[in-house]
Amino acid sequence: MNDVFAKARALGEALQASEEYRAMREAEATAMADPDAAQMLAAYLEQRAEVERLLATDAPDPAELAEHSEEMENLHAAVNARPLVVEMIRARAAFSDMMMQVNQVLRFMVIGQTNEEGCGGTCGNCCGGCTERERLQ
């Protein structure tokens, strides 16, 4: 079992060394260094927390809920319109895509499937086109 954990740790280190991870972390740092974006994000999170608080009550005031929801949506749109935030979202999506591919390869290696329905016989969607399990090993 120690070998499994050592290899999992090595995989984690390889993921952290990947271009996708480094680009994502750099984009996050750059976006959060933008004081306007950081302020808008903080305000958005406050509005979201208030909406969640209201929804947790037995009888939330519809007008108050609508007001906070609208403000939350406006702040979300404003944050997502900032170029540095757009780049951060793109970088996060690229890293997420890579992680999905890694998870598909692991799933295929462990149980022979890439998704709940099973493998269709090729790996074109999971690892760049291999057609046999041995090629992954």
Q: What is the mean pLDDT of the chain?
A: 86
pLDDT of residue 127 exceeding 80, the answer is: no
Tens-digit pLDDT profile for residues 65-100: 999 999 999 999 999 999 999 999 999 999 999 999
Q: Are 101 and 107 in contact (CB under 8 A)?
A: no
Which residue from 95, 81, 100, 101 is spatially nearest to 40, judged by alpha carbons? 81
pLDDT of residue 1: 79
- CATH number for the domain formed by residue range(s) 2-97: 1.20.1500.10
Provide the whole-model pTM. 0.69
According to the model, what pLDDT value does residue 116 have? 53
How is the chain split into domains, by residue range?
Answer: 2-97
Please list, in sequence order, all residues whose beta carbon lies within 8 angstroms of the beta carbon of residue 137, skipping any fewer than 6 positions away. 109
Q: How many CB atoms lie within 10 A of CB 75?
A: 20
**Rounded mean pLDDT, 98-114:** 92
